[in-house]
Amino acid sequence: MTARILVVDDIAANVRLLEAKLMAEYFEVVSASDGPGALEIAATQSPDIILLDVMMPGMDGFEVARHLKADPKTRHIPIVMVTALTDTEDRVRGLEAGADDFLSKPINDVAMFARVRSLARLKVMMDELRLRHETSGQLDLGEDQAELEQQDDPGHIVLVEATDFVADKMIDYLGDAGHTVARTTSGAAALAWCRAACSLRSRGRVPKNPAARIAGAATDHPRIPCSPVSPNCSRNCTGSSRKRATRRSGEKGIAGAETSASPSRTKAMIRGTCSG
């Protein structure tokens, strides 16, 4: 996967070093030597990721991040702050300014490429969702669109992502939209989960009504944990408990598919179940 990366650093040697490393991995690189230049390039060239040095004269990295996140044209661009600062207060300040991740100096190449590739995947997904939202608004479907949205059945999504940071963001985003998310770091587990779901659906064993799906599963399997991102969950899971329950339910559901669980157990897992 390739991406356009904006490197921001006031030291030319640091910029050239990062350019060489990133271009060797087939990334497109643009650069800026100060904060105002970074803001201009971000607005005009739409980079996919910004590697932003913190300690710069004039406008530092924290201020640049705040400007980027305040602009509707650039607020969706992931920012990785590159810094020698290691204090917790500095990291918290960076997060409050809008940073999505951090790289510590001296930069570890493996960590840098892992973060860049992970954020590039996240950026692609977010761009697709934004484009879909903008397109639906331009069509101006009015009442018909509102009716379609009310009839839309929340989906069941298998998320294959090894990075906890990216997975949490995607689970929160999809959960807010009412979808049930099962997460795994293994492609084999995801395939097993999907095959089990397709098999049950092809035999007509999964009801279409989400309320019936949850009620039936709760009756048959009262100990199955709540699927917190289901909009029909009567237990109103919120906050950190939702995230923990999401991960638990996803892991259990995937494990069940991998070990050829019983049909009723697999059926309950696919339904997006809620405990009694």
pLDDT in tens, 192-205: 777 777 766 666 55
Residue 146: half-sphere exposure toward Cβ, Cα within 13 Å: 2
**Structure confidence by residue, pLDDT tens digits, 90-99:** 889 999 999 9
**Structure confidence by residue, pLDDT tens digits, 56-79:** 999 999 999 999 999 999 999 999
Residue 262 has pLDDT above 60, yes or no: no
pLDDT at 152: 56
Which sign, positive or negative, has the C-alpha torsion 119, 125, 126, 128? positive
CA torsion, points 219, 221, 225, 228, in degrees to nearest 10?
-40
Alpha carbon 100 to its chain's center = 11
Tokens 């934004």 belong to which residue? Answer: 130
Q: Which of 261, 233, 256, 257 is nearest to 245 (CA)?
A: 233
Q: What is the CA radius of gyration of the chain?
A: 22
Tokens 């997006």 belong to which residue? Answer: 272
Residue 210 has pLDDT above 50, yes or no: no
